[in-house]
Chains A and B, each alone.
Chain A
Amino acid sequence: MSETIAFKPESLAQVHKIIARYPEGRQKSALIPVLHLAQKEFDGWLAVPVMDYVAELLSITPIEVYEVATFYTMFNMKPVGKYVLEVCRTGPCMLNGSDNILDHIRKKLNIKDGETSEDGLFTLKPAECLGACGYAPMMQLGKFFHENLTIEKVDEILDLCRQGAIALD
């Protein structure tokens, strides 16, 4: 990561727009939305210098950012692959075979839970209930849900990722 961390101008404008949603002096409320922006812009995870930058932007102390970033599952505290496969495994998804989907991905990519494939493309992140229980099994990839998964569908998605042909945002 370079020494000078700064949002692109359009993201910075977005930050100011978010801060304006709250009363004067309550800019800390913008922390989670701004961390989402930061994670998206700075390689998919929140390095310490990135969090320090966010603290400065919101005029809060770095610890206020660290304690929040580490609390919420969606923030990655270490580098991740280009494609983070968040596969739900809670009750309803389990009833519909999410264990098989997870096993298949582990074997196919030769990674364990939380690991990133050697080519740096995929990170497997088993997830707890994502609210797609009626369309199980499912995984989240970037902004979108992929539902009613089968082994074949997973293979198709992985191929599309390799071709760079899948929408993340």
Chain B
Amino acid sequence: MGKKLLLKNAHIEGIRYFETYRKHGGYEAAEKALKMKPEEILEEVKTSGLRGRGGAGFPTGMKWSFLAKPEGVPRHLVVNADESEPGTFKDRYLMEFLPHLLIEGMLISSYTLGSNTSYIYIRGEYSWIPDILEEAIDEAKAAGFLGKNILGTGFDLEIYVQRGAGAYICGEETALLESLEGRRGNPRLKPPFPAVKGLWERPTVVNNVESIAAVVPIIEIGGAEYAKIGVGRSTGTKLISACGNINKPGVYEIDMTITVEEFIYSDEYCGGIPNGKKLKACIPGGSSVPIVPANLLLKTINGEPRYMNYESLADGGFATGTMMGSGGFIVLDEDQCVVNHTMTLARFYNHESCGQCTPCREGTGWMYKILKKIEKGEGKMEDIDLLWDIQRKIEGNTICPLGDAAAWPVAAAIRHFRDEFEWHVNNPELSQTQNYGIANYADPIPAVSNS
């Protein structure tokens, strides 16, 4: 069994409620933190090596240290609960089953940052979860952990839950702030960064739900102890939401020292692939990160086992590696069609592009159209090159990372599965009734092109 920090009490009945949460050590970290100086807490978070759990992996302590503190200007903490990256459903799990862990994390973080009004921006479709969070907020308030003069420290905190309304782009922090201000979710140009000018032009820190929840065990055991868990710069534990063709889909907490092979095949985690089928490919960090074929997933290009952590998953760069991303782990078995799967992702990004930047607005539309054409057996060989060309013209040419996020899945699918695209073009009729299958993706490792 791996080390559990966030989900260690998830199995306890009633842990959703204050009384049970408190009975099992809940809010003890907050009590400890509120006796510390904010700078001391910041040091603990820095020492812990915690990296943003939303997908970008930016060190949380460093992000906090950028927060501007002009005299007389209120600051805000905004929790990003706009979990919308295909394959990702870990924050939902935390909020649904352990709402007080988030509230306690917000209390400690708000105290550290000097935010007296903090917000949780949650995706609109999680429409039953605000009730759970608001109930937890009321309970915490009744127990004196929120509201005025918390635990007699003189620190005040109100937490509000705000629902979005169906826009993936609002997971991008500046789009989220726009949305929270009652506007379309169009990302802002940076700089200024939210740490200087964020919500209502006030200094703001935007953090993912899991990052804020992780602050609780960091205070509990100390930053140095937290940093001992895991390996290298992948410290602590990470929630992985596993889905696709696996026996045991769900949310798992891992300590980032296990191999990808163990994660997929051991009964403690995914439990292998249903019906004894073979592994074809995997997107290990949410739909935006590169898809890799089985051989490159289980082993790096140097033949080393690949581990479930930031560095190992990224080993080999985009040529042969992928990314940890949000931890949305999507498994494809031998019967899945990479062209069709990539088409659904292209449709997703086309639907979710805010339309502000031309390369993304137009490019995502063209990628979707071309992929649909190939998938239906109506594609030409030059369409594959055209797709490659379009994704290259999107990447790096947009205000926010949605453009990259839309380009990478298409690029990786062509990079590793080009023969499957060509097969669709060459076999327009057969491709409508049959899948390409596993072909040669498992062994040996296909040649890697540098295109």
Contact = CB atoms under 8 A, between A and B. Distances in A.
A86 B34 CA distance: 44
B344 A134 contact: no
B243 A74 contact: no
B222 interface: no
Given A94-B340, A95-B330, A132-B89, A26 B200 contact: yes
A31 B249 CA distance: 37
Interface stretch (A6-14, A104-112, A113-121, A136-144): A136-144
Contacts of A75: 165-166
B66 interface: no
B125 A74 contact: yes
A134 B332 contact: no
Given A71-B184, A74-B124, A129-B86, A92 B330 contact: yes
B424 interface: no
A145 to B, nearest CB: 8
A28 interface: yes
Contact of B164 (A21, A32, A95): A32
Interface string B98-137: 0000000000000000000101000111111000000000
Interface string A54-75: 0000101000100110011111
Given A73-B167, A75-B165, A91-B330, A129 B124 contact: no
Contacts of B163: 32-33, 36
Contact of B242 (A96, A129, A134, A140): A134
B147 interface: no
B364 interface: no
B244 A144 contact: no
Interface residues of A, number: 44
Contact of A71 (B117, B123, B167, B180): B167
A91 B341 contact: yes
B235 to A, nearest CB: 26
A35 B184 CA distance: 13
Interface in A114-156: 127-136, 140, 142-144
A23 B125 CA distance: 26
Nearest to A32: B165
A72 B348 CA distance: 14
Given A128-B168, A128-B347, A134-B249, A143 B127 contact: yes
Contacts of A89: 344
B167 A72 contact: yes
Nearest to B121: A32
Contact of B124 (A29, A36, A135): A36
Contact of B182 (A28, A127, A128): A28
Nearest to B85: A129
A31 B180 CA distance: 9
Nearest to A28: B182
Contacts of A35: 165
What class of interface size applies to chain B in its complex with A?
A: 35 or more
A26 B74 CA distance: 14
B164 A92 contact: no
Given A131-B92, A134-B89, A36 B336 contact: no
B267 interface: no
A47 interface: no
Given A26-B181, A36-B163, A67-B184, A129 B251 contact: no
Contacts of B47: none
B162 A73 contact: no
A30 interface: yes
Contacts, number: 147
A35 B179 CA distance: 13
B208 interface: no
B180 A134 contact: no
B165 A72 contact: yes
Contacts of B312: none
Interface in B63-94: 74, 83-89, 92
Given A75-B165, A95-B244, A68 B182 contact: yes
Given A91-B86, A92-B330, A29 B184 contact: no
Contacts of A21: 117, 119, 158, 160, 162
Nearest to A65: B182
Contacts of A86: 125
Contacts of A68: 182-184
A147 B354 CA distance: 28
A128 B350 CA distance: 10
A82 B352 CA distance: 26
A91 B287 contact: yes
B243 A136 contact: yes
Contact of B351 (A30, A91, A128, A144): A128
A92 B243 CA distance: 7
B245 interface: yes
Nearest to A86: B125
B57 interface: no
A91 B87 contact: yes
A11 to B, nearest CB: 15
10 contacts: A75-B166, A91-B86, A92-B87, A92-B330, A95-B245, A129-B168, A131-B84, A131-B88, A133-B88, A143-B128
Interface of B: 74, 83-89, 92, 117, 119, 123-128, 158, 160, 162-168, 179-185, 200, 241-245, 249-251, 283, 287, 328, 330, 332, 336, 340-341, 344-345, 347-348, 351-352, 354
Interface of A: 21-23, 26, 28-33, 35-36, 58, 60, 64, 67-68, 71-75, 86, 89-92, 94-96, 127-136, 140, 142-144
